Amino acid sequence: MKRPLRAPARRRPAITLLCAALALGFLPGQAFAGTPTTQAAVPTNDDVVIAQRLQTMVQPVLTAVAADTQVRALVRTIAARQFDGDTNALLSTVVREAEESRVVNPTEPGWVALKNGIAQLADVNGFAYQPQIYIPNQDEGVLAGDSVVVAVAPADETLTSVPGYVLNPAGQVQQTPAAIDEAYVETKEVWVLSVNESSATNPTTTTTLEAVPLSEAGPGVLATCNPTGTRNNKGLEYLQKWRVPNRNEFGGWFEGKREMRAIVLTTTGVTIRTIAFPSIKKKYIDRWQDSDLFITTWDRAQWGDVLGYQWYEEDGGPEVTIGVSIPFFGGNINANVKWRKRDDNGGSAAVMFSESTYLEYNTGKVAFSMCSQGGDGGTGYDNLARTGIAAASSTYPGYSPARVNDGSTNTSLGGGYSWANNAGTYPPGNPEWVQVDFGVDKTFRRVVVYTSAGYPIKDFDVQVWNGVTFVSVAAVRNNTALSTTVTFAPRTSRLVRVLGLSGPTHQPGFVRVNELEVYAA
């Protein structure tokens, strides 16, 4: 089990494995029969209490669950469902489904002891925990056998190995000759007794203060961050990637996947968003995780020039309020944030508007990087079309769709500057089009169309792909200008198209586009 969140330098008291064994009335290598007893003294630390009560469940889990072929198969089936993203089976679910299936006798002493053990964890200092069986690496093909090894997640999260328990031929619980470590569970099945770490109010990517709704912002894209690393006012801010350099930072292998969280704060300590990242195994957490998660439209008038990131790893328990202070050049972000009593502090860092987005941040426990797209002015690729791929319904020889997003707004006539449709089937009878494909969804609300001097497009629509078909978001008629800007309600799409309905009055059958620009704002 993990320690309650507190200052990184402090360590909570830990119950040792030897003391746990003595409390249960057996020594390493010694079998015990009957229901184990706990220590007379009741620790005040939640993790110690949980570890003690889980230890009393070793015997009923081995005798009433693991020893029964049908119930053993049921546990593995439930764990394989990964109901919360990990290979675990809540013991309450095991009990319910086993009794519904009539594969157990609900009054059998071992089964009753199991249910009593579950009930013990329904009140740990006023909070109800859900005991579970966690099967490490079940999703990676670990081999299962008829003889199950059971271990208990310890109160001390710094431990790298724990005792294992099996049934001996006489049906008694026997400690395994060797301790169970991370290398062991890579190839052999172990059932780890622990408590489920998902809280009833798991944070999601939510906010009540968002300048641009998440649904309109779309995912981040590594290739389209402003290439100079600069931020522009009202640009789209993304948390591009993150990792935990020290794999052992947030506990041992017996705790299952890591549930990393981040709270994003304004300079005044207001929470913009609490982010729940997908769960990830300990052995992979030191690799970069490409999140590309939209954080906010960085409106400096609203948010100021600093945002704070407070990280933590979720372990569950009752909700608590913690005061945090995040220093930055010129001051501190002070805030009261909420997480769970047993959650682990992941450290904090301040991100300043003036800093390069190529900078890597490190809280001391979590490394992460940011990305910015678009916004007002600046030297980055504010024009989203610049990194897309252009295509057209047809192309006149010597012209090219690639001309429409090459960054040149030169409106000169000719194939070196423009795209034009081929002769044959063409407007006004059949519209011709040129489009830019971003590759992934982006959110935008402004499009600028440049055409050719002396041959401007007279009539055209700006269209976006909605996943099923192209829909028109703007219509321009009787145009004579060489540059036309259209704005519309924000749209999220990967495709933007100029649908040419008619060329100029003196040549209606040819439509020309010299440049197509697409902007988030």
- For 346-393, the pLDDT digits (tens) are 999 999 999 998 899 999 999 999 988 877 654 345 788 987 899 999
Q: Under DSSP, is residue 102 helix (H, G, I), strand (E, B) or coil?
A: coil
Q: Is 399 a residue whose pLDDT tops 90?
A: yes
With CA atoms as reference, report the closest residue to 436 among 397, 492, 394, 392: 392
Enter the tokens of residue 413.
Answer: 């006539």
- Residue 222: the pLDDT is 44
- Residue 43: the pLDDT is 33
Q: Is 20 a residue whose pLDDT tops 50?
A: no
Q: Count the residues in the chain.
A: 521
Distance from C-alpha of 446 to C-alpha of 457, rounded to nearest angstrom: 18
- Confidence band (pLDDT; 50, 70, 90) for 5? very low
Average pLDDT, the chain: 84
- Alpha-carbon Rg for the chain in angstroms: 30
**H/E run at residue 234:** none
Contact 142, 187 (CB under 8 A): yes
- Confidence band (pLDDT; 50, 70, 90) for 230? confident
Contact 486, 444 (CB under 8 A): no
CA atoms within a 13 Å half-sphere pointing along the CA-CB vector of 78: 21
Higher pLDDT among residues 37 and 242, named by residue: 242
- Residue 381: the pLDDT is 53
- Residue 376: the pLDDT is 65
- What is the CATH topology of the domain spanning 214-373? Immunoglobulin-like (2.60.40)
Please list the residue range(s) of the chain that carry CATH number 2.60.120.260: 384-519
Three-point CA angle 455, 459, 461, nearest 5°: 125
Mean pLDDT of 410-423: 96
Q: Which residues of 405-416 are buried (b: 16+ CB within 10 A; e: fewer)?
A: beeeeebeeeee
Q: Is 206 a residue whose pLDDT tops 80?
A: no
Mean pLDDT of 407-425: 93
DSSP 118-167: HHHTT-BTTB---EEEE-TTGGGTPBP-SS-EEEE--S-TT-SEE-EEEE
Instruction: At 154, give phi and psi (nearest 5°).
Output: -80, 165
In tens, the pLDDT along 302-338 reads 888 999 999 999 988 899 999 999 999 889 999 999 9
Enter the tokens of residue 338.
Answer: 């909420």
In tens, the pLDDT along 52-98 reads 999 999 999 999 999 999 999 999 999 999 988 899 999 999 999 99
| 91-100 vs 69-81: helix crossing angle, rounded to 10 | 130
Strands in 131-134's sheet, in edge-to-edge order, are 88-90, 131-134, 190-195, 149-152, 164-167, 173-175
Q: Is 6 a residue whose pLDDT tops 60?
A: no
Within 10 Å of residue 477's Cβ, how many Cβ atoms?
10
End-to-end CA distance of the chain: 48
Residue type, 338: K
CATH class of 384-519: mainly beta
pTM over 0.75: no
Pairing mode of beta strands 190-195, 149-152: parallel
Residue type, 299: D
Task: Say which residue the tokens 């995780």 belong to.
Answer: 289
Contact 133, 193 (CB under 8 A): yes
Mean pLDDT of 386-415: 93
Instruction: At 289, give phi and psi (nearest 5°).
Output: -105, 115
Mean pLDDT of 453-481: 96
Q: Is 202 a residue whose pLDDT tops 50?
A: no
Residue type, 199: S
Instruction: At 272, give phi and psi (nearest 5°).
Output: -80, -45
Share of the chain above pLDDT 70, in %: 85
Mean pLDDT of 131-139: 95
With CA atoms as reference, report the closest residue to 89 among 126, 111, 61: 61
Three-point CA angle 146, 150, 152, nearest 5°: 170
Please list the residue range(s) of the chain that carry CATH number 2.60.40: 214-373
Reduced to 3 DSSP states, what percent helix, strand and coil does the chain have, rounded to the nearest 5? 20, 35, 45
- Residue 438: the pLDDT is 84
Please list the residues that pair with 336 across neighbouring strands. 323
Distance from C-alpha of 27 to C-alpha of 236, rounded to nearest angstrom: 60
With CA atoms as reference, report the closest residue to 257 among 94, 82, 78, 121: 82
Q: Under DSSP, is residue 517 helix (H, G, I), strand (E, B) or coil?
A: strand
